[in-house]
Structure 1
Amino acid sequence: MLVPLVALMYDIFFASRTDNVIFLDKEQRLEALVKSTNVEFTKSLSTLELHPEDVSSDTLHNEFTRVVEPHVPANSGIRFGLYVPLTEKISVLGFLHNYRNLSPEEEKQREKEIFANTKPGLLAAEMSKEPLFRISGSWDDQVVEYIAPVVLQGRVVAVMWAGERLNPVFYQSSFVRKALRYFVLVVLALVMLGTLILIRNITTGVERLKQGLQQMEGDIHHLLPEMSGELGQVAQAVNRMAVGLVEKERLEDQLRQSEHLIALGRLATGVAHELRNPIGIIKTLAELMKHEYSQVSGIEEFTRAIDEQVDRQNIVIQELLDFGRPTKVSIKDCLVNDLLKGVLSFSEAMLRKQKIKVNLDLDNQLPKIMADTEKLKQVFVNLIVNAAEAMPSGGRVDITTRLKDDMVTITFTDTGDGISLEEKSRIFDPFYTTKESGTGLGLSISFQSIKLHGGNIEVDSNPGMGTTFIIQLPVEEHISEGSDKFDTKNISY
Structure 2
Amino acid sequence: MTSLRLRLVIGFMLVSVPAMLASAFIAAKLISDTFEDNVGHWLRETSRFFALEVSEAAQEAQRVAGVIGHRLEHSADDARMQRTVEREFAVLNSVGYDLIAIYRPGGELIFSSRRFSSIGSLPEKTGLGLFKISADNKRWIMAGAVQSVQINGQPANLLVGSWLDDSYLGGIKVVTSLDVRLFSDFDGELEPVVQTHPDHPVTVPSEIRARLDAGEDEIFDPDAGSGAYRAVYAGFRGIDGKLAAISFIGMRSEAGFFEQLGRERLFLGIFLIGCFIAALVGSLMSDVLVRPLRALTRGVRAIAAGDFGQRVGVGGGREIAELANGFNGMAEQLGKLHELEMELRRSDRLSALGQAAMVIAHEVRNPLGIIKTSTEVVRNRAKLGDTEAKMLGYVIDEVRRIETLMREFLDFAQPRPLVQSRFPLRNVIDRVAAIAEPELARRNIVLRVEDGSGGAAILGDADQLHQACLNLVLNAMDAMPAGGTIFANLTADAKNVSLAISDEGPGVPKAIRTEIFNPFFTTKVKGTGLGLAKVQGVAVAHGGTASCEGEEGQGAVFVLSLPRAGMGGTP
Q: TM-score, normalised by structure 1?
A: 0.56
One-letter amino acid of the counterpart of residue 472, structure 1: S
Residues 1:459 and 2:474 aligned together: no
**2:415 corresponds to:** 326
Selected match of 1:251 from 320, 332, 340: 340
The alpha carbon displacement at 1:385 in A equals 0.4
Which residue, out of 522, 528, 536, partners 1:433? Answer: 522
Deviation of the 1:456 alpha carbon: 2.3
Q: State the secondary structure of the residue aligned to 1:327.
A: coil
The amino acid that maps onto 2:431 is G
2:432 aligned partner = 343
Q: Hey, what's the Cα distance between the residues in 1 that align with 2:488 and 2:511?
A: 25
Cα drift, residue 265 of structure 1: 0.9
Matches within 5 A, 1:125-274: 125=181, 127-128=196-197, 133=220, 146-148=232-234, 160=247, 220=307, 223-224=310-311, 226=313, 228-230=315-317, 239-274=328-363
Residue 548 of structure 2 aligns to a residue whose secondary structure is strand
> What secondary structure is seen at the aligned counterpart in 1 of 2:415?
coil
Matched letter for residue 506 of structure 2: D
Q: Given the superposition, is the C-alpha separation of residues 296 and 360 from structure 1 closer, same or farther in structure 2, using an over 3 Å criterion? A: closer
Match of 2:180 in 1: 124
Q: Distance in 1 between matches of 2:394 and 2:462?
A: 36
> Cα deviation per residue 1:290-344 (whole Å; 9 max; x = unaligned)?
9xx7696889x78987775665444333222211211110112232233223322
SS of structure 2 residue aligned to 1:229: coil
Where do residues 10-409 of structure 1 align in structure 2 (5 Å cutoff)? 11-12=26-27, 50-51=133-134, 55-58=141-144, 85=164, 124-125=180-181, 127-128=196-197, 133=220, 146-148=232-234, 160=247, 220=307, 223-224=310-311, 226=313, 228-230=315-317, 239-281=328-370, 311-358=400-447, 360-365=449-454, 367-403=456-492, 406-409=495-498
Q: Deviations over 1:453-473 (max 9, x none)?
A: 122223357764533323332
SS at match of 1:416: coil
Q: Which residue of 1 aligns with 2:557?
A: 468
The 2-side partners of 1:359 and 1:46 are apart by 133
CA distance in structure 1 between the aligned counterparts of 2:507 and 2:315, rounded to whole angstroms: 40
Separation in 2, partners of 1:448, 1:240: 30
Give the conservation status (yes or no) of the 8 Å contact 1:133–1:146.
yes
Which residue identity lines up with residue 232 of structure 2 in the other structure? Answer: Y
1:404-445 deviation line (CA, Å, top 9, x unaligned): 683434333333234456654442333333323243322222
Residue of structure 1 equivalent to 2:92 = none
| Alpha-carbon offset, residue 262 of structure 1 | 0.6
User: Could you tell me whether the CA contact under 8 Å between 2:522 and 2:528 is conserved in 1?
Assistant: yes
In structure 1, distance between residues paired with 2:221 and 2:430? 105
Compared CA separation, residues 295 and 25, structure 1 to 2 (3 A):
closer
The structure having more radius of gyration, on CA atoms, is: 2
Q: CA deviation at 1:383?
A: 0.9
Q: Aligned-pair distance for 1:381?
A: 0.8
In structure 1, C-alpha distance between the alignment counterparts of 2:143 and 2:234, rounded to whole Å: 18
Name the counterpart of 1:63: none
Cα distance in 1 for partners of 2:507, 2:398 equals 33
Considering fraction of residues, name the structure with more helix: 1
CA-based RMSD of the aligned residues comes to: 5.7
Q: How far apart, in 2, do the equivalents of 1:281 and 1:327 lie?
A: 27
Structure 2 residue runs without a partner (length 5+): 1-14, 42-117, 122-131, 147-161, 182-194, 205-218, 223-229, 239-243, 250-273, 567-571
Cα deviation digits, residues 446-491 of structure 1 (max 9, x gap): 22211211222233577645333233323369xxxxxxxxxxxxxx
User: Which residue number in structure 1 is paired with residue 107 of structure 2?
Assistant: none
**Identity score, percent:** 23
Q: Which whole-Å CA distance do the structure 1 matches of 2:521 and 2:510 have between them?
A: 14
Q: Pick closer, same or farther for the CA change 1:54–1:272 going to 2, 3 Å.
A: closer
Q: Distance in 1 between matches of 2:292 and 2:163?
A: 73
Paired with 1:215 and 1:416, the residues of 2 have a C-alpha distance of 35
Question: What amino acid is aligned across from residue 27 of structure 2 in structure 1?
Answer: I
Other-structure match for 1:182: none
Change (3 A) 1:192 1:335: farther
> Are residues 448 and 158 of structure 1, via their aligned partners in 2, closer, same or farther at CA, if it must alter by over 3 Å?
same
What is the rounded CA distance, in whole Å, between the counterparts of 1:421 and 1:360 in structure 2?
A: 27
Structure 2 counterpart of 1:124, which letter?
A: V
| DSSP 3-state at the match of 1:322 | helix
Provide Cα deviations, 1:132-159, integer angstroms capped at 9, x if missing partner. Answer: 8499xxxxxxxx993358799xxxx855
Quick check: 2:458–2:564 contact (8 Å CA) kept in 1?
yes
CA distance in 2 between counterparts of 1:273 and 1:391 reads: 37
**Deviation digits for residues 39-88 of structure 1, max 9, x if unmatched?**
xxxxxx9656742655442479xxxxxxxxxxxxxxxxxxxxxx984699
How many Å apart are 1:379 and its aligned residue?
0.8
TM-score of the superposition, structure 2-length normalised?
0.49
> CA 1:218–1:147 in structure 2 vs 1: closer, same or farther (change >3 Å)?
same
- What secondary structure, in the 3-state scheme, does the structure 1 residue paired with 2:180 have? helix
Structure 2 vs 1, CA of residues 414 and 151 (structure 1 numbering), >3 Å: closer, same or farther? farther
Which residue of 2 is the match for residue 101 of structure 1? none
2:362 and 2:543 map into 1 onto residues whose CA distance is 29
Higher share in strand: 2
Please report how far the alpha carbon of residue 377 of structure 1 lies from its aligned counterpart in structure 2 after TM superposition. Answer: 1.4
Aligned equivalents of 1:197 and 1:359: distance in 2? 62
- Shifted more, 303-312 versus 414-423: the winner is 303-312
2:264 alignment counterpart: none
Matched-pair contact (CA < 8 Å) for 1:333–1:369: yes
Cα drift, residue 21 of structure 1: 10
3-state DSSP of counterpart to 1:57: strand
Query: Counterparts of 2:37 and 2:551 in 1: how far apart (Å)?
Result: 87
CA contact (8 A) 1:220 1:242 kept: no
**Equivalent residue of 2:539, what SS?**
helix
Q: Following the alignment from structure 1 to structure 2, what is the Cα–Cα distance between the partners of residues 405 and 13?
A: 76
